[in-house]
Chain A
């Protein structure tokens, strides 16, 4: 989840009240924001679905309600700026939407500028999905001359000085040379023309979604801001603008709208109208487990910054502020009521839900296998199911097919194990300095490819055991294997077989109910040497049955 850094004094100033640090963190946690204080810095972890909390202004706004300092829905006055943005029809196939606004009476400090950059960055990462769905530009309005045009340019078209650079580059050069260009090039690379925002004198504001121009940079001396959001998703574009502008309004700055002139329609942005929601008092009480009266619930709703437009017939009509884009179902409102009530005040209750506990049968079988092997002095080990073809096949002198990872993190973990013995030999390799003999076993899932399975693969529970040392011989390991089978209730048949991992003539197969269930024998010297071992190893591996043998029949 996104983490933002805010300054404690700044947050207190936005709150209009000095709240003791520890208490503040505790209250933030109860609001669903994990807070960690380090001196005057607070690190806040904000939920994915609440982009309105990605700024100190947004956090303060929510907190003011939660602390009872200010109730109900924040209302934002907005005037018309007279600024227009004309949208060229050529942006339609590449990045069709734009929303924009103006902020005046701006008083910035370096701290606020930095905070503004942070909101922008966090919104880009979360709500805007790494600038794919939307990207934000903020400019000093006094450096540009409206009306603006949202148009396009050829990759080798208009040159301008990108942010943090001191020379003019073409868009194509920016994609190659500017760090942001390199980072976001994949979004625009396949387009024949790139989106471009210019003013009436063709001064470049930005090359969305890559970079702004240096000439329009916002500094602590900036008095008026022009903000735009362009993107693929009109809803996201509007949300991002609303969140940014209402946040700035919390600092007392004045908001003004901008007229967007699409070829076929006109839109005033931002749209700061509240949204209406129905909340059934009964549904909320039932879901949380409370018995609040409508008036009590209305009061809580106001703490969570809703207005209550009406309360009739057990239904509250709530007005939600425009920045709350996360409300898609009544349960989202109900959670807000629970938070407003206070998770710390909710008394846990334990209902009578009468059910009978039941172990998964494969776990019962696995436990039986564990009991037999620990009884025989074997130590259980647990290895990863992720492995690689060298360990799983080559070192074992076998070949085969396994489920494959398409985006492995390392060469070591590229496939899923198809059997347990390679893992056990790996464990013996890791323990080769310890005294002998060593007896190890593992009970665990392997993954086999199976076209009949819904996902094309399924887990199969295996048990495998190995002994290294002078006692590691066929007679011993066969006795161990048969002990396991016997305790699982199996009736089995032993057959001679060949297996490349074992010494020829010293490996036996086991057949239960007509199916091959495993093998046992003395490990081939080449395998032993391949794992860097210097003593004889005997080992077995069995497929565990879903239920104890004979058990299913007995129950019927």
Chain B
């Protein structure tokens, strides 16, 4: 057992063993440190390992150590205030308290201290005489003049030795410790002393011979250029020792999901477009055929702006959209109400990225078109564990001749497979600007539940015709908040915007499951 261990001994451990051999088998850790030329923690680490291997024993002894404070040291050389008063009194007694306070030999602040302690020790007495308080020396005061009290002896001893073990003091002096401690002239510390002792196994290892190779710890420029590296041995490290943790600069976890999604859509051949955070109600709602009294347009659903308060809207487009709403276009009967162009010009915080895709369609791009947009959108919500006032949305459209609802499902399926959530089911959905509409749920294997994650559909003719688009347009949107929470394993969606640096630095982005559905 012991012999097997020897091969594995580190240089430090060998040094400790050899030091103990030199120190007659047993020694204090401090001595071992000195002998082995190692610092305290190195010796202790080695000692613990050696103890594990049964090569040494570690024993502990604790004791109280006293050392003087700065004040204590001062009094050790100049004498305690009451001693100094005694000396003064022995020469000039009796004197008045005022005289003591004025006396040169005693500093003013010390005088009160000296008077107090002298009286407590019974060295002096006070008497009233002619309006003055006169001090006279007592008998025990006289005696005290002849020899030093235990506190004084201890103080002087401490001043010389700097620190002493309480155990080593005579009973007299031991009694003085508490007094001086109370006067804050010394401090008492709990000390532990460990000593190391070779076991018989340890001795056997030493008898078998421990060869100490003093290796080189760090390759240096000098060693390299001088060629000396050929001659030295590199001390092997214990490579299993846990190291320090460092963290690289990181992209925010939420941004990593966004980047991943962007990558997926680029791979699928989509082109990225950008939206505007401040939108007009025209692009956010009217152009999407959402009637002006639609419940989603009520004041408590979106954030409106007072500055800027009015947006410009292209007049020809506004006319065509007005017609679509009021009387209908492309065979539609429309919503049959009085459209108000002033509402169109109101500004709001963009509430759906569809605004950006429809703005793109208004430029009448030639088919085929595949674009997407990832942007922040806003809601009139109090922020809590399931609502955010501001969050990301991702939206995409595909325009080409002859696209169908089944093609829409095909794109949705492809996107979720790429997102690592390949199990998908489709349900009829309802969006004001698409018909037919579809909702897609994906199955989350770990949570064991279906999660509503995508909404999609074909843009209504009432949306497309005013924009001058005559081909079918597939449109889909991803609830990014939910996707991000799933990807990052978060329960509280506020944590999506978590900026705790410990979290960000320690967060390891989970790999995408590549399993295909």
Q: Does A489 contact B (CB under 8 A)?
A: no
Name the residue in B265, B313, B403 with the highest tally of chain A Cβ atoms < 10 Å from its Cβ. B403
Q: Which has the most chain A C-beta neighbours within 10 Å: B269, B310, B337, B405? A: B405
CA distance A289 to B405 in the complex (A): 6
* Residues of B with C-beta under 8 A to A408: 303
Which of A133, A360, A376 lies at the interface centre, i.e. has the most chain B CB atoms within 10 A of its CB? A360
Q: Are B336 and A235 in contact (CB under 8 A)?
A: yes
Q: How far is the CB of B271 from chain A (nearest CB, A)?
A: 4
Contacts of A343 in B (CB 8 A): 426-428, 438
B341 contacts A by Cβ under 8 Å: no
Contacts of B458 in A (CB 8 A): 287, 331
B411, closest chain A residue (CB): A350
Are A289 and B407 in touch, CB under 8 angstroms?
Answer: yes
Contact with B along A242-278 (1 / 0, CB 8 A): 0000000000000000000000000000000000000
Interface residue ranges of A30-61 to B (CB < 8 Å):
30-32, 34, 47-50
Q: Which residues of B lie under 8 Å from residue A400 when comparing CB positions?
A: none
Contact B270 A409 (CB under 8 A): no
**Of all chain A residues, which has the CB nearest B460?**
A331
Interface segment, one of A71-79, A91-99, A434-442, A508-516: A434-442
Q: Tell which of B267, B268, B270, B311 touches A455, judged by Cβ atoms closer than 8 Å.
A: B311
A219 CB to nearest chain B CB (Å) = 32
Q: How far is the CA of A335 from the CA of B460 in the complex (A)?
A: 11
- Chain A nearest Cβ from B498, distance in angstroms: 9
> Once the chains bind, are B430 and A404 in contact (CB under 8 Å)?
no
Asked if B266 CB lies within 8 Å of chain A CBs, one says: yes
Nearest chain A residue, comparing its CB with the CB of B392: A382
B150 proximal to A (CB < 8 A): no
Q: Is the CB of A381 closer than 8 A to any CB of chain B?
A: yes
Q: Per-residue 0/1 for A349-364: is the Cβ within 8 Å of any B Cβ (1 yes, 0 no)?
A: 1110111111110110
Q: Among A49, A330, A379, which residue has the most Cβ atoms of chain B within 10 A?
A: A379
Give Cα A457 to B293, complex, Å.
26
Closest chain A CB from B425 CB (angstroms): 7
Evaluate contact between A288 and B430: CB separation under 8 angstroms: no
Question: Is A380 touching B436 in the complex (CB atoms < 8 A)?
Answer: no
Instruction: Check if B272 sits within 8 Å of A347, measured CB to CB.
Output: no
Check B312–A346 contact: CB distance below 8 A.
no
**Interface-facing stretch out of B42-50, B51-59, B134-142, B376-384:** B376-384
Q: How far is the CB of A12 from chain B (nearest CB, A)?
A: 22
Within 8 Å CB of A338, what residues of B?
405, 428, 436
A449: interface (CB < 8 Å): yes
Interface contact B277-A377, CB-CB below 8 Å: no
A-contacting residues, B330-365, CB 8 Å: 330-337, 347, 349
| Residue from the set A129, A290, A404, A456 with the largest chain B CB neighbour count within 10 Å | A456
When chains A and B are docked, how far (Å) is the Cα of A300 from the Cα of B406?
Answer: 18
The answer to whether B349 touches A405 (Cβ under 8 A) is yes
A459 to B275, CA, bound (A): 9
Q: Which of A15-23, A155-163, A367-375, A520-528 contacts B (4 or more CB under 8 A)?
A: A367-375
> Chain A contacts of B267 at CB under 8 A?
357
- Cα distance A339–B268 in the bound complex, in angstroms: 28
Provide the bound-state CA to CA distance between A373 and B248, in Å: 11
Bound-state Cα–Cα, A416 to B387, Å: 19
Q: At the interface, yes or no: B461 with Cβ under 8 Å from chain A? A: yes
User: Judging by beta carbons under 8 Å apart, are A360 and B272 in contact?
Assistant: yes
B266 — nearest CB in chain A belongs to which residue? A357
Given the known interface contacts A353-B368, A456-B308, the answer about A382 and B270 at a Cβ–Cβ threshold of 8 Å is: no
A330 to B501, CA, bound (A): 55
Tell me the complex Cα distance, A1–B435, Å. 17
A359–B303 CB distance below 8 A: no
Question: For residues 421 through 466 of chain A, which have their beta carbon under 8 Å from a beta carbon of chain B?
Answer: 427, 430-431, 434, 438-440, 445, 447, 449, 454-459
Docked-complex contact A32 and B501, CB < 8 angstroms? no
Q: Of A290, A357, A381, which one neighbours B269 at CB under 8 angstroms?
A: A357
- Does the CB pair A374–B248 fall under 8 Å? yes
CA distance A404 to B304 in the complex (A): 9
Contact B501 A331 (CB under 8 A): no
Interface assignment of B504: CB less than 8 Å from any CB of chain A: yes
A413 in the interface, Cβ–Cβ < 8 Å? yes
Identify which of residues 93-122 in chain A touch chain B, using a CB-to-CB cut-off of 8 Å: none
> Most chain-B CB neighbours within 10 Å: which of A29, A47, A348, A438?
A348
Query: CA A350 – CA B270 in complex, angstroms?
Result: 14
A165 near B: Cβ within 8 Å?
A: no
Is residue A470 within 8 Å, beta carbon to beta carbon, of the partner chain?
Answer: no
Q: Which residues of B contact A456 (CB under 8 A)?
A: 278, 308-311, 347
B286 at the interface (CB under 8 A from A): no
- Are the C-beta atoms of B271 and A406 separated by less than 8 Å? no
A329 within 8 A of B: yes
Q: Does A126 belong to the interface (CB within 8 Å)?
A: yes
Task: List A contacts of B251 (CB < 8 A).
Answer: 370, 374, 380
Q: Is B279 engaged at the interface, CB distance under 8 Å to the other chain?
A: yes
Task: Kindly list chain A residues whose C-beta atoms are within 8 Å of the C-beta of B295.
Answer: 48, 126, 129
Min Cβ gap B323→A in Å is 14
- Chain A hits for B398, CB < 8 A: 353
> At the interface, yes or no: B418 with Cβ under 8 Å from chain A?
no
| B262 on interface, CB distance cutoff 8 Å | yes
Known A-B contacts A348-B412, A355-B369, A458-B276; the reply to A48 vs B249 at CB < 8 A is: no
A402 → B minimal CB distance (Å): 8
Residues of A within 8 A of B309 (CB): 406, 456
B28 at the interface (CB under 8 A from A): no
CB of B308 within 8 A of CB of A386, answer no
Find out whether the CB atom of B460 lies under 8 angstroms from the CB atom of A356. no
Q: Once bound together, how far apart are the Cα atoms of A358 and B335, in whole Å? A: 38
Given the known inter-chain contacts A335-B437, A438-B501, please indicate yes or no for A405 contacting B306, CB distance below 8 A. yes
Whether the Cβ atoms of A403 and B376 lie closer than 8 Å is: no
The reply to whether B274 and A360 contact each other, CB–CB distance below 8 Å, is yes
Does residue A384 face the partner (Cβ distance < 8 Å to B)?
Answer: yes
* Contact of B273 with A by CB under 8 A: yes
CB of B370 within 8 A of chain A?
Answer: yes
Nearest CB in chain A to that of B409: its residue: A348
CB-contact partner of B430 in A48, A126, A328, A431, under 8 A: A48
Q: Is B280 interfacial (CB 8 A cutoff)?
A: yes
Asked if B31 CB lies within 8 Å of chain A CBs, one says no
> Do residues B305 and A335 form an inter-chain contact, with CB atoms below 8 A?
no
Does A286 belong to the interface (CB within 8 Å)? yes
Residues of B with C-beta under 8 A to A454 = 280, 311-313
Residues on B close to A: CB < 8 A?
A: 248-252, 254-255, 259, 262, 265-274, 276-280, 293-295, 299-300, 303-313, 328, 330-337, 347, 349, 368-370, 376, 378, 380-382, 389-390, 398, 400, 402-407, 409-414, 425-430, 432, 435-438, 458, 460-462, 472, 497, 499-502, 504-505
List the 9 closest A-B pairs by CB distance, nearest first. Answer: A456-B308, A289-B404, A289-B406, A32-B428, A47-B430, A374-B249, A335-B436, A406-B306, A348-B409
Can you name 19 extra interface pairs (CB under 8 A) apart from A377-B249, A410-B382, A456-B310? A1-B430, A289-B404, A329-B461, A335-B435, A335-B437, A343-B428, A346-B405, A355-B269, A358-B272, A359-B266, A375-B249, A404-B306, A405-B349, A406-B304, A409-B380, A431-B502, A434-B500, A455-B280, A458-B276
Query: Could you show 23 A-B contacts with beta carbons less than 8 Å apart?
Result: A31-B428, A287-B436, A288-B405, A328-B333, A329-B333, A329-B460, A335-B436, A339-B428, A347-B409, A348-B413, A357-B265, A363-B272, A367-B259, A379-B249, A379-B504, A379-B505, A384-B497, A385-B390, A405-B305, A406-B304, A406-B305, A409-B303, A458-B276
